[in-house]
């Protein structure tokens, strides 16, 4: 079971968005379990020592207000952010535990 994680979605250069979308849609660089995309705290956030909760709030706001994420398909929205990644990893771990 392999999933990929694309980090630093906020650093995508103008014009490169479609490549990331194609990866998340499974049209490029295929992985069996697909990819997730996250936004990690930037240098200023690290200097401010933002809490985990504040970093997740900023990530959620970023995906809700920034193109191409805010108008992406539900398939892509399901794969944006640390909470969704965590939920999917927990689900996969539970499946593996039940199989053993």
Give the count of domains, the chain. Answer: 1
Give pLDDT, residue 42. Answer: 84
* Distance, CA of 36 to CA of 62 (rounded, Å): 15
Phi, psi of 48 (to 5 degrees): -75, -15
**Whose CA is closest to 1, among 34, 30, 33?**
33
**Whose CA is closest to 6, among 43, 32, 35, 41?**
35
| 22, 73 Cβ separation under 8 angstroms | no
pLDDT grade for 1, boundaries at 50, 70 and 90: low
18: domain CATH number is 3.40.50.300
pLDDT digits (tens, 9 = 90+) for 8-59: 999 999 899 999 999 999 999 999 999 999 999 888 888 898 899 999 999 9
Of residues 65 and 3, which shows the higher confidence score?
65
pLDDT grade for 88, boundaries at 50, 70 and 90: very high
- Percentages of the chain per state (helix, strand, coil), in multiples of 5: 55, 5, 40
Range of the domain at 32: 4-99
Question: Is 12 strand, coil or helix?
Answer: coil
Q: What is the mean pLDDT of the chain?
A: 92
């Amino acid at each position: 079971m392999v999933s990929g994680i694309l980090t630093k979605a906020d650093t995508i250069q103008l014009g490169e968005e479609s490549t990331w979308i194609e990866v998340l849609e499974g049209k490029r660089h295929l992985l069996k379990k697909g990819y997730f995309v996250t936004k990690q705290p930037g240098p200023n956030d690290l200097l401010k020592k933002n809490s985990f909760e504040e970093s997740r709030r900023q990530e959620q706001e970023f995906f809700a207000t920034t193109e191409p994420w805010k108008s992406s398909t539900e398939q892509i929205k399901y794969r944006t952010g640390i909470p969704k990644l965590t939920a999917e990893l927990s689900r996969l771990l539970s499946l593996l535990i039940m199989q053993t």
